[in-house]
Structure 1
């Protein structure tokens, strides 16, 4: 895929998705961090339902530590893997207080050092909370990048690096959410909605649906 086609793809996605942002509900970088940690192998809708009850009670590291691990579990028990997530969130809050004055750090290295935070979560926080042009490759982005030919790769890291090099500069900040939302609602896994797709004529997918 050439540079002009990539630019046209992102221009069209940006026109079709005028407000590309996360569907997780949050009011601060810390709330976003907790929501993203909870969202692993869970739906945004499910996470939002749990955090709607959790955040009014505890939305700081200190408040979550005051709840304790068992208290936290009561709020997130509807979310998959809630036991391990609760353990990680408690450790994460302790680290934020000990090393970052209770604030969410703005570097990838510091974020990845937190319990339950990997490269993908760190990229989401850097992009969504702090406005940096990072791209977190989840299942939707991995599928769209490979299916369209935008940035084919066998691993998440390979796709991330290709997107990092090839996304047009003016779309770099929003590319993450443009691709996620396109993958979530149009370029879906089982039966992509090719007739409704704004980039169908630019896409390299050979088995387009009719």
Structure 2
């Protein structure tokens, strides 16, 4: 129980920091008029160059988005139920904001910031390895941000565990029914055998008389 509480606190702190970092990156990219899907090209050698600083700032923000999004995908796959519950909250921390108006700000909801990160991550453009694409695809299926494949399964989800439990119970029930049927059939066969044996014995006795 104590370990579960520690794990929950760790996930809460991690996700809150992750959401806030994504929001900060979004603000940086918006301030620099970043167009989703473009990797900023330009001079980066002269630290005093305004264009150079802008390119570096955008690249840094994009890298932060990709790193945080990759971490988020891992958390979704390993702790799906907790993460999905956090996605439904109105604030990053899950606590009410001191400013009631902030509750209605779209960019302050975990769901919205993650959907934005999905768009920025631009799977084909930035996620080069097959493993990255597969992980992201599975995470998005878990969140139902894209349609789930017919054979989609996440063994860490409560949904899967309940479904597996029901199937196991059904199997046990089928086995028990099967065993009961076998016992019943064995009993009937034994009774038939005894009946036949008695009839044969009576027939022999009559013939002897």
TM-score, normalisation: structure 1:
0.23
Higher relative contact order (CA 8 A, sep 6+): 1
The structure with the largest alpha-carbon Rg is 2
TM-score, normalisation: structure 2:
0.23
